[in-house]
Amino acid sequence: MADKNWQAGGKDSIPARAVLRMVAPLIVILAPCADAWAASDDFAPPNYVGSADPNTIWIILLGGLVIASFLMAIGLWVLSALRKVKRSQLRRNAFISSALNNLNQGVVMTDAERRIIFCNDRYLEIYGLARSDVPRNMTGPELLELRRRRGVLDISVEEFYARSSRPDGLITELPDGRSVLVKHFMLPNGGSVATHDDCTEQRKLSRKLASTTQFLESVLDNVPVCVAAKNIEDGRYIFANRAFERFSRFSRDHIVGKRADEIFSPGTAASIDKADRSALDAPEGYFRSELFVERGSEKRILASNRVVARNENNEPEFLIALFDDVTERRSLSRELENNKKFLELVVDNIPVSLIVERVSDGRYLLANRSAETILNRRREDATGLTAADIFNPREAKLIIARDEAAIKKRGLLTEEHPISTKDGLRLFLTRRMTVLDDTGEPQYLIKTHEDVTDRRQTESRMAHMAYHDGLTDLPNRAAFLQALAQMIEACAGTDEEFAVLCVDLDGLKEINDVFGHAMGDKLLIEVASRLQDSARGGVVARLSGDEFGLIIDGKQPASGKLLAEQLGEALANEFLIDGKSVRTGCTTGISVFPHNGSDAASLLANAGAALFRAKAKSRGSISIFEPEMDQQIRDRRVLHQDLSVAIRNGELSLHYQPQATSGATVATSEVIGFEALARWLHPVRGFVPPGEFIPLAEESGLIVEMGEWILREACREAASWPVPLQVAINLSPAQFMHGDVVSLVHSILLETGLAPDRLELEITEGVLIEDFDRGVALLRRLKALGVRISMDDFGSGYSSLSYLQAFPFDKIKIDRAFVMNLGRNPQSAAIVRAVIDLGHGLEMSIVAEGVETQEQLGFLSEEGCDAVQGYFIGKPFPIGQYAALVGRSGGDVMETVRKTG
C-alpha cells in the first residue's frame, strides 16, 4: 500500500521533458550562429558581415555618387534596421541565456559535430568547473574527459552516454556525497542536450523513505493482527501482511492486485464489501464490526476495524483493514456465558436454600428459589433487605446473633434448628460459611438451609427398621441379641436366672404353599400377637421366617418350660384368617442363663440346638438344652466338612434296590429295574445314612456336585448291564434350584450311551414347592429327553394331589408309611387302593415302596399295583450282589433275590 505513496522517486523534480521543451527552440535559433559562439564570460553575439559591388567609371561616378548617396541612404536605413534586429536579437539571446543560466539544472548542448554550443552556469557549478574550462570548440567527450580528470565523473565516456540516454537516466555520485541525475537526449538536427539535476536531497529522502517503508512493512508483517490495504478506486488489494496470509491461507502475491470477489467465496466477499462501504460512509473515517467469513468449510468470526486513508486533498484513497480471528474467543466467551447461566440455574434449583449476605451491612445479595420458603417471599424481593426487614424481631435477633458467631469464627458453622415456614415448623440444617476478601476480612456470608425434617424422620424409621421386623413389628434378631446382652448384664453376678426360648412355627411353609404368602404373612402377625399376649410383657422377637425368640425370667427351667407350654396352647387354637381356618403349632427349644451360656450369642445358639433336637423328636415338642446337643451340632459341622471332600476321596458309592412287577409272590414278581441309592462310607464313622448326609448336602449346595456324580455313576453302571433294566435315580429339589439339571441329564445320557427310556428320575414334591412354574417347566423339558419322571414319597407331603394334575408323571411311588400300615389299620388299605385307582385314572403306573412282607405284596398284587419295591423283594446293595439280574454272570436270579431279601 505504502509503496505508491513512498516510491514517488523524482516526482518533485522538474521533469526532463519539460526542460527539453523549453530548450529546443533556442537551439533552432542558436544553431546558425554556432560558428560565432564565443565562449567568453559574456554571451557574445554572432559576427554578421555585409558586402557591395564598387564601379570605377567617372560617368558613373556622379551617377554613382547619386546612387552611392542613395545607396548609402538605403545602407544607412538597412544598417539602422539591421541594428534594430540585432538589438532585439541580442535582447532575446540575453534573455534565453540568462534563463538557461538560471535554471536549477545543469544544461549542456552540442551540435551535430558534438561541439559544445551551450553550457550553463549551473552545470559548471555542479561539477566545480570554471567557464574557462570549457573553451570554444570543445567537444562533449572532451568535457567529460575533463570531468573524469577532475574526479567528478566515475565512469567512462561511453558508459556515460549509454546510461544517461536511458529513460531513467544516470545517477553520478560526486566525491562530496552529492548525487546528480543526468539525462541525455539526441536532437533531430544531430545535436544533443544533457540535463544535470542535483538530486542529493531526493535520493536521501527516498532512501530514508525506503528504509522507513521496510521498517513499517516488517512491523506490519510481524503484528499478530491481519492487515490489508486496498485502493478505494478499484477495490484491489495493494498490501497484505503475513498474519493475513496465514489467516486467508493465500500468499500475498495471490492477494495483491485482486479484488475480494476474485479471492474469496461470494458470501465472504459480500460481507467484506459491506464492511468496506460502511467504513467509507462513516463520518469518523473508520468502522468496527464483526465479520462472518468462510475459510474452506469452516465459518470464522473476525473482529474487523477498517480505516479510510485520505490523500493531501482529503480525498479517500486507501482503505486499511485490520482484523483478528476471534472465533475461538467468541466460542470461549459463549461457553463462559453458558457456564454462568448453568451455574445460576444450578444454584437456583438445588434443593437446599442458599442465601448470600454482605458482611458489611448484613444485606442479602442473593437468594435461590429454595430460600423463598425461609424468606417467605420471592427471592427477587429479598435482595437488598436485611434479616431485620424480613423476620420478626425475636427471630431476627437470633439470626443476627448466629450470623455474627459465624463471621467471628471465619469458618464453617453448622447447626440444626426448627424454623417456622408457611408449611409449618420444619427442622433445618443450617451451614454458615464466611468468605474472606484478599486482606483476610470477612466479606460475604453464605448460608444454606437444608430441610432435614423428612430425612430425620426417615432416619428414625430406619433405626426402628434396623431393630424391628417389618411384618410383625416385633424386635428382630439384632434387637433380641441386644436385649439378651442387657439381661445378662443385669443378672450377671446375682443368682437370678432366665431362659431363652427358640420357638419354631410348624407348617408355615405348607400354609404358604397352599394358601399363598399373603395368608402366611397374616398368620405370622396373628402368631406374633398371641406370643406377645402369652409372654405378658417379656421380650418377644422374630428371629427369622418362622422362628421367634423369647426371654423369661424366674426359676429355671420351670419358668421357661411353663411359658413354652402356654405358647403351645395359645397357638394350638385355630386361626381365622380371611374367613379361613388355619391350624399351626410350635416346637420350642430352651436354653438357660447362666448354665447354658454366658453371652447372648451362645445362649441363643444353644436354644437353637435344643430346638433342632425338639424338631427331630416330634413337632410340637419342647426340648431343654443339654450339653451333648451342642456336641451334636458341632458334629454336624464336622460331618459337613468331611462330606465336602467325600466325592474327591472316593467315599461315595451307590447301592441298588430292585423294583419288580407285583406278582402274588416274590417268585412271580419280575425285576424290572433298580433304584440307585447313595452311600457314604466315612473313613472314621463308617456308613453314614443318606437320611443324614443328603439333607446336609442340600443345605450347603454340595448336592449339585454330588447329584451330578450320582447321576453319571448310575447311568454309566446301567449302560453297562447286558440286560437293559431300568435305573431310577433320585433328584433333589436343590438340583432343580441351582444346577442346569436338564442339560446335565442330556449330556450324561449322551456321554454314557444309556437309552433315555431306561432312565427314571424320582422327584419329590419339593421340586414343585420351591418354584412351581420353573419346576413344571424343567420337568417337561426332562420328559422331552425321553426319560420317565416319577413322583416319590407320594402321600407323605401336603399337596401331592394338586401336583398330579399339574404334571403328567409316569409313575407314582406310594410312600412307605402307607404300605407299612397295611393290615394294621383299615384306612391305609383304603388310601393305597384310592391312590392306585387315582394313578390309573391319570394313566400313571403305581409303585409301592417299603414292601416288607408277603401280605403286603399279596395285597398290592391283588389291588392291581403295577410294581413293588422293598426289603421283601431286595435290599439296596452294591450292584455286584445283583450281577445275575443284570446279566453279568449265570446263576439263579431269584435265588439271588431271595438271599438278599
Positions in the binding site for ligand C2E (CB under 6 A): 657, 676-678, 689-691, 694, 710, 730, 732, 792-793, 816, 850-852, 870-871, 876
Nine-digit cell string for 288: 468496527
User: CA-CA distances (angstroms) from residue 35 to 111, 138, 437, 673, 735?
Assistant: 11, 12, 104, 164, 147
Residue 143 contacts residue 108 (beta carbons within 8 Å): yes
Cβ distance to ligand C2E smaller for residue 134 or 754: 754
Torsion sign (Cα): 836, 837, 840, 844 = negative
CB of 562 to ligand C2E, least distance (A): 38
CB of 739 to ligand C2E, least distance (A): 12
Min dist. Cβ of residue 719 to ligand C2E (A): 17
Q: How far apart are alpha carbons 533 and 538 in whole angstroms?
A: 9
CB of 828: closest distance to Ca ion in angstroms?
A: 16
What lies within 8 Å, CB to CB, of 407 at 6+ separation is 359, 434, 442, 445
Q: Considering the complex, what minimum distance in angstroms separates the CB of residue 711 from ligand C2E?
A: 9
Tell me which residue of 659, 691, 668 sits closest to 851, measured CA to CA: 659
Strand order through the sheet with 237-240: 237-240, 226-231, 316-325, 298-310, 286-295
Q: Of 550, 538, 464, nearest to 503 (Cα)?
A: 550
CB of 674 to ligand C2E, least distance (A): 12
Helical residues (DSSP H) of 410-516, grouped into ranges: 453-467, 477-491, 508-515
Is the Cβ–Cβ distance between 538 and 550 less than 8 Å?
Answer: yes
The nearest distance, CB 751 to ligand C2E, in angstroms, is 18
CB 772 → Ca ion: shortest distance, Å? 21
Identify which of residues 851 and 886 has a Cβ nearer to ligand C2E in the complex. Answer: 851
Provide, rounded to whole angstroms, the least separation between the CB of residue 737 and Ca ion: 19
Alpha helix ranges (H) inside 350-476: 371-375, 379-382, 387-390, 393-409, 453-467
User: Which residue's CB is nearer to Ca ion, number 717 or number 792?
Assistant: 792
By beta-carbon proximity to Ca ion, the closer residue of 317 and 792 is 792
- Between residues 43 and 871, which has the closer beta carbon with respect to ligand C2E? 871
Comparison of 483 and 710: residue with beta carbon closer to ligand C2E: 710
Rounded to whole angstroms, how far apart are CA atoms 684 and 169? 132
Nearer to ligand C2E, 542 or 788 (CB): 788
Q: How far is the CB of 815 from ligand C2E (least distance, A)?
A: 8
276 binds, among ligand C2E, Ca ion, none (CB under 5 to 8 A by kind): none
Residue 897's contacts (CB-CB under 8 Å, 6 or more residues apart) are 658, 666, 671, 873, 874, 885
| Residue placing its CB nearer to ligand C2E in the complex, 852 or 863 | 852
Closer Cβ to ligand C2E, 845 or 900, answer by number: 900
Angle between helices 627-643 and 690-700 (to 10 degrees): 70
Taking the C-alpha atoms of residue 316 and residue 489, their distance in angstroms, rounded to an integer, is: 107
Q: Measured from the CB of residue 655, what is the shortest distance to ligand C2E in angstroms?
A: 7
Say how far apart CA 56 and CA 879 lie, in whole Å. Answer: 197
* CB 808 to ligand C2E: min, Å: 21
In terms of CB distance, is 226 or 728 closer to Ca ion? 728
Binding partner of 710, given Ca ion, ligand C2E, none, CB within 5-8 angstroms per partner class: ligand C2E
Tally of residues, the chain: 901
CA distance 181 to 169: 6
CA pair distance 513, 507, nearest whole angstrom? 10
Max Cα–Cα distance, the chain, nearest Å:
221
CB 594 within 8 A of CB 628: no
| C-alpha cell read off for 10 | 523524482
Cβ-count burial 705-742 (b if 16+ within 10 Å, e if not): ebbbebbebbbebbbebeeebbbbbbbbbbbbbebebb
- Cα–Cα dist 154/714, whole Å: 129
By CB under 5 A, name the binding residues for Ca ion: 730, 762, 792-793, 849
Closest CA to 897 of 882, 879, 886: 882
Q: Which is nearer to ligand C2E, 96 or 894 (CB)?
A: 894
Q: How far is the CB of 815 from Ca ion (least distance, A)?
A: 6
Nearer Cβ to ligand C2E (243/728): 728
CB of 529 to ligand C2E, least distance (A): 38
Q: 353 touches which of Ca ion, ligand C2E, none (CB within 5 to 8 A by kind)?
A: none
Q: Residue 359 binds which one of Ca ion, ligand C2E, none, with CB within 5 to 8 A depending on kind?
A: none
Q: Rounded to an integer, what distance in angstroms lies between the CA atom of residue 895 and that of residue 360? A: 113
Q: How far is the CB of 690 from ligand C2E (least distance, A)?
A: 4
Nearer to Ca ion, 229 or 677 (CB): 677
Least Å distance, CB 730 to Ca ion, is 5
Q: Which three cell numbers stand for residue 636?
A: 454336624
CB of 535 to ligand C2E, least distance (A): 39
**Beta carbon nearer to Ca ion, 513 or 675:** 675
Partner whose footprint covers residue 657, from Ca ion, ligand C2E, none (CB < 5 to 8 Å by kind): ligand C2E
Q: Find which of Ca ion, ligand C2E, none residue 876 binds, CB within 5 to 8 Å per kind.
A: ligand C2E
- Which distant-in-sequence residues (6+ apart) come within 8 Å of 224 by Cβ? 243, 324
Residue 874 and residue 893: Cα distance in Å, rounded? 12
Where would I find the H helices in 842-871?
854-862
690 contact, one of ligand C2E, Ca ion, none, CB 5-8 Å limit per kind: ligand C2E
Binding-site partner at residue 232 among ligand C2E, Ca ion, none, CB < 5 to 8 Å by type: none
CA gap 335, 347 in Å, rounded:
18
Angstrom CA distances, 198 to 127, 153, 182, stand at: 10, 14, 9
Cβ proximity to ligand C2E: between 651 and 852 the closer is 852
Q: Which is nearer to ligand C2E, 571 or 677 (CB)?
A: 677
Beta strand spans in 296-401 (E): 298-310, 316-325, 353-358, 364-367
- Residue 608 or residue 707: which is nearer to ligand C2E going by CB? 707
Q: Which does 442 bind (CB under 5 to 8 A by kind): ligand C2E, Ca ion, none?
A: none
Q: Which does 870 bind (CB under 5 to 8 A by kind): ligand C2E, Ca ion, none?
A: ligand C2E
Residue 623 contact partner, candidates ligand C2E, Ca ion, none, CB within 5 to 8 A by sort of partner = none
